[in-house]
Chain A
Amino acid sequence: MNKNYLPKAIRHSLTIGWLYPDLMSTYGDRGNIIVLQKRCEWRNIEVKILHLNPGFDHKLLATCNMLFMGGAQDKQQQIVAQDLKKEKVETLKKMVDDGVPGLYICGAYQLLGKYYKEADGTKILGLGIFDLYTENPGENHPRLIGNIIAELAGSTWQVADGKKTTSYAPQATRHIVGFENHGGRTYLGKNVKPFAKVIKGFGNNGEDGTEGAIYKNAIGTYLHGPILPKNPEIADYLIKKALEVKYKDEIGLEDLDDSLEQKAKEIIEKRYNVKV
């Protein structure tokens, strides 16, 4: 066994903060949490999931090694916005800047941007963590709905791979698959990189071919489905980064058998004649 694997005797542990599970959990989002939890447990990494619902103590946030926030209905998003007071937003900003990995899906992705402009021109301010904004072009423009296949933007972002335990050497780009369903069109600013490049589907806005955004170790994306079960490399990236930020050391992850995951991905690739 490679010496960089986690020694069995040392129990690493992670605390994952799930922001607003009661409100921001719409599209099977909890699947992402289940996947993160299992993939840690299968590797003997102790994992604790904190459910951060409205009224939570902002100090809890700072104890998290990874954050997750899902999509929501409009009405529920308003309740969340009210709860995200100054201290919470500042803590969250600092954590993202310090490299705490996070996954922000759909509504959460939009919320982390600068603003969301409604069809009637009303601007709803976001948290300003991601340099991006979102516009809703109105009811005459269709929602962007369907299966999506994208290619991870390889030069800016490397996927942790169990086989490569020593470094994040850039690998051949890999596909991620999911399902998107959003009315808002998101446009990226200079300070974030796209998470992936659209091969089939719409992505951020259906125009510029970008999908999602990545800033430090925080990923924003429109992919649900949910994203992590069929794209376990993203789950592993988040776990690995979370461990490394917490333990300030380079850490390799044990390989897991992802053959079912691969098959689930291939079904979609084959359907749209996308070469693996």
Chain B
Amino acid sequence: MINSFLILIGRIISKISSILNLGSGSTWPGHIALNLNPKFIRQTINRNPDLKVILTVGTNGKTTTSKLIKHLLEQEKIKVFYNESGANLLNGIASSIIKHSTLNGSLNYDVALFEVDENILPLMLNETEPQGLVILNLFRDQLDRYGEVNTIANKWSNAISKLTKSILFINGDDPKLTHIAKESKLKSYFFGLDESKMIKRDLPHDVDSVYCPSCQNKLNFKKIAYSHLGDFICPNCEFKKEKTHTFVEIKPPLPGTYNVYNTNAAALLVKKLFGIDEKKIQKYLDNFKPAFGRQEIFEIEGKKIMVLLSKNPTGFNQSIEMVMEMKQDDDNILIILNDRIPDGRDVSWIWDVDFEEFIDDMDNMFISGDRTYDMALRLKYANSSKSQKSKIKSQNYNLKLKTFENLNEAIKIALEELPRNEILYILPTYSAMLEVRKILTGKKIL
């Protein structure tokens, strides 16, 4: 009874806030519902025994993977709803339930798909035991908010150990996640990158998971995809990579190695839980559209802009690698570093990004955001030693860097200077990505 009332209230709030264009309408209804009834999520899900719940969690790729799963299921005529627009805390999940349920609390869908914030996963698993839990990866991200990687891994492991029926879909190239799956005794499927696509190289420095999660010895990596994802084995206790599903026959709809993981995670889930085969998956993927700010392309007065959300070291390295892959002679890049709550207040992570590997190839760099100069400094110090040595007293590297504290101005000038046939790549943190979209779609700058 109370839940019907909460759903009604929630709907009214959404309506009002969308009419008044107040924004943040997407989490308020759930926020209020949970305040008045902390069991709202559990009760509404329990009321719908036929509803399958699927959760996706991980540092990077939650939104893209969820979009992929949703798309694949919908193509198969399975009805699915999803907590869109990154509302991935409990209030966002409750809001999504309110939005999609009837007034008496029925959810007329086959699948409820939720992307879940890393910190929230244990709370969410208290509310419901999902049919499928996809764990994509665990990288350093917003240490001020999430704490250290081991803290998150322990929280996940504890929460998952209480589950009895869920099926896990795990990135098998990640040692910590593999360990969590093996400890859990739940049925687990592993996805990964085909070894032929991994390369032999040194582990990058930003790795948090290179010690054996079982016995603390240093792991041997035969090959690496990126960061600590790869083909690992412990020389001491023989903990090693499981055989993974790599779907080599499927072509991911988005570029970048990380999207191979996202695609394989989605493919494995829909194959095992819904029996959709590889042939169909490929066919369905051909008309997939990317999520907000994830390789999203905008066209403004005939000029092309591609936005690549870059919010932590691993994600940023992947964005850079992708820009280097895609760009021709053009290299117009705008990096935006904000330090608001959704970005993490601590910007020290930019020093874990490997700018060194590409900075000397870049001629046209624009920098903006709350922490414009922190980013400019990072790039100044990323310049190769050789080119600096020749100009010792005048290390005025900012010659190449155009800094703008005002984002509107940065985008305006970057676009003005952009030659017609080239692409402007924008690499923003999360809140900066939202700002960029607002500016580009509102076309405020033109």
Contact = CB atoms under 8 A, between A and B. Distances in A.
A89 B150 CA distance: 27
A29 B385 CA distance: 20
Contacts of B394: 257
A79 B377 contact: no
Given A30-B352, A41-B385, A75 B150 contact: yes
A179 B373 contact: no
A34 B395 contact: no
B24 interface: no
B381 A34 contact: yes
A225 interface: yes
A194 to B, nearest CB: 23
Contact of A257 (B347, B350, B373, B395): B395
Contacts of A26: 140, 143, 148
A147 B345 contact: yes
Contact of A31 (B348, B388, B395, B396): B348
Interface string A222-262: 00111001100000000000000000000000111101110
B208 interface: yes
Question: Which of B210, B370, B374, B396: most chain A Cβ within 10 A?
Answer: B374
Identify whether the interface residues of A are mostly helix, strand, loop, or mixed: mixed
Interface string A210-232: 00000000000000111001100
B11 interface: no
Contact of A256 (B143, B372, B374, B395): B395
B395 A74 contact: no
B347 A179 contact: yes
B374 A179 contact: no
Given A260-B376, A263-B373, A267-B371, A181 B144 contact: yes
A191 to B, nearest CB: 30
Interface string A12-40: 00000000011001111111001101100
Nearest to A224: B348
Contact of B392 (A25, A31, A230, A254): A254
Question: Which of A29, A229, A254, A261: most chain B Cβ within 10 A?
Answer: A229
A260 B351 contact: no
A41 B150 contact: no
Contact of B350 (A28, A42, A43): A28
Interface string B190-224: 00000000000000010010110000101000000
Contacts of B398: 259-260
A145 interface: yes
Interface residues of A, number: 42
Interface string A143-173: 0011100000000000000000000000000
Question: Which of B140, B376, B381: most chain A Cβ within 10 A?
Answer: B381
Nearest to A266: B373
B393 interface: yes
A125 interface: no
A254 B394 CA distance: 11
Contact of A28 (B149, B218, B351, B388): B351
Given A73-B149, A79-B211, A261 B377 contact: yes
A34 B385 contact: no
Contacts of B377: 229-230, 260-261, 264
Interface in B388-409: 388-389, 392-396, 398
B311 interface: no
A44 interface: yes
A231 to B, nearest CB: 11
Contact of A179 (B218, B345, B352): B345
B346 interface: yes
B205 A229 contact: no
Contact of A21 (B149, B205, B352): B205
A148 B378 CA distance: 19
Contacts of B378: 31, 229
Nearest to B350: A28
Contact of B385 (A38, A74, A225, A229): A38
Nearest to A43: B392
B210 A181 contact: no
Given A181-B144, A226-B351, A73 B395 contact: no
B348 A27 contact: yes
B298 interface: no
B292 interface: no
A226 B377 CA distance: 11
Contact of B144 (A35, A179, A261): A179
Contacts of B67: none
Contact of B373 (A21, A37, A264): A264
B351 A34 contact: yes
A51 B133 CA distance: 39
Interface in B147-206: 148-151, 205
A181 B143 contact: yes
B284 interface: no
Given A73-B148, A73-B208, A230-B374, A28 B395 contact: no
B109 interface: no
19 contacts: A28-B349, A34-B381, A41-B389, A42-B395, A74-B148, A75-B150, A146-B345, A179-B345, A224-B346, A225-B348, A229-B351, A229-B378, A254-B392, A257-B393, A257-B395, A263-B373, A264-B373, A264-B377, A267-B373
Given A42-B392, A255-B393, A257-B394, 17 more contacts: A26-B148, A30-B205, A31-B348, A34-B351, A34-B381, A42-B389, A146-B144, A225-B346, A225-B348, A226-B348, A226-B351, A254-B392, A257-B396, A260-B398, A267-B370, A267-B372, A267-B374
Interface of A: 21-22, 25-31, 34-35, 37-38, 41-44, 73-76, 79, 145-147, 179, 181, 224-226, 229-230, 254-257, 259-261, 263-264, 267
Interface of B: 140, 143-144, 148-151, 205, 208, 210-211, 216, 218, 345-352, 370-374, 376-378, 380-382, 385, 388-389, 392-396, 398
Leading 4 A-B pairs by shortest Cβ distance: A31-B351, A28-B351, A28-B348, A264-B373
